[in-house]
Amino acid sequence: MALILCLETATDVCSVGLSQDGRLVALQESEQGRDHASQITLLIRKCADQAGYRLKDLDAVAVSSGPGSYTSLRIGWSTAKGIAYASGIPLLSVDTLQALAWGAASRVQQDTAWYCALIDARRMEVYAGVYTADGKRISGPEALILDSGSFGYCLEAGRTAVFTGNGAAKFQPLCQEPNALFLPLEASAAFFPALAEQAFERGAFAEVAYSEPLYLKPPNITKPKSLI
């Protein structure tokens, strides 16, 4: 049983939570357009104050592994590594897509459904992962360009497929299948507690010095325009 700080920074939402014994006890979130660098430490303080804890009380820190925004993920990982190193506590890496699917499954509560977590990756591309209701990975994570035939295997034999995440809205106009369900959820630290607790109990700790998030794609870096 553990008190775990949970950091989700893969998307536009900067989300911080505290979980105790696999249950969420505090949550603070900001949607100020990927302003994670200036928001994350403030959210951590607010979250600790909300639950009545201090950083010295933590047993571990969990951070979203990605995929997602290159810069946002690096901010989350830098913060998590700093806290883990300074406090001498384990670092846990939580699959962003799995956590999102877990959040959807907890709301829909259909044990036979497959949960398709989609994160916007610009234009008609998404980062995708498909999971069962108990968190078993069916496919992904992968970068995928959407078309009308995407995820056909998830909808076979009338199986319900639940599409969620900030990339699901891109697929909805392309999908006419009656057994497709679209659930508007954003990636959030609120979906971490069970997965983080499981990782802690297994001793599945990430290497503080050398572990990295899963980017899937290189950063979209452009040359600055000439001022002359």
Mean pLDDT of the chain: 93
| Distance of alpha carbon 55 from alpha carbon 20, whole angstroms | 13
Contacts 24+ apart (CB under 8 A), 120-126: 120/11, 120/165, 120/166, 120/167, 120/170, 121/67, 121/167, 121/217, 122/220, 124/170, 126/165, 126/167, 126/170, 126/171
Is the Cβ–Cβ distance between 6 and 94 less than 8 Å? yes
pLDDT in tens, 173-217: 999 899 999 999 999 999 999 999 999 999 999 999 999 999 987
Q: In the numeric block, which tokens belong to residue 192?
A: 């971490």
Quote the pLDDT of residue 228: 53
| Distance of alpha carbon 22 from alpha carbon 38, whole angstroms | 28
Quote the pLDDT of residue 32: 75
Q: Where are the domains of the chain?
A: 3-95+188-202, 97-183
Same fold, 3-95+188-202 and 97-183: yes
- Helix/strand/coil for 188: coil
Quote the pLDDT of residue 9: 95
- For every one of its 228 residues, what pLDDT tens digit does the chain have, with 9 covering 90 and above? 799 999 999 999 999 999 999 999 999 999 776 689 999 999 999 999 999 999 999 999 999 999 999 999 999 999 999 999 999 999 999 999 999 999 999 999 999 999 999 999 988 999 999 999 999 999 999 999 999 999 999 998 889 999 999 999 999 999 989 999 999 999 999 999 999 999 999 999 999 999 999 998 776 655 556 555
Quote the pLDDT of residue 118: 98
Quote the pLDDT of residue 158: 85
- Give CATH for domain 3-95+188-202: 3.30.420.40
Please count the helices (runs of H) and the strands (runs of E) in the chain.
5, 10
Quote the pLDDT of residue 220: 60
Q: Considering the entire predicted model, what is its pTM? A: 0.92
Quote the pLDDT of residue 36: 92
Q: Which CATH class is domain 97-183?
A: alpha beta
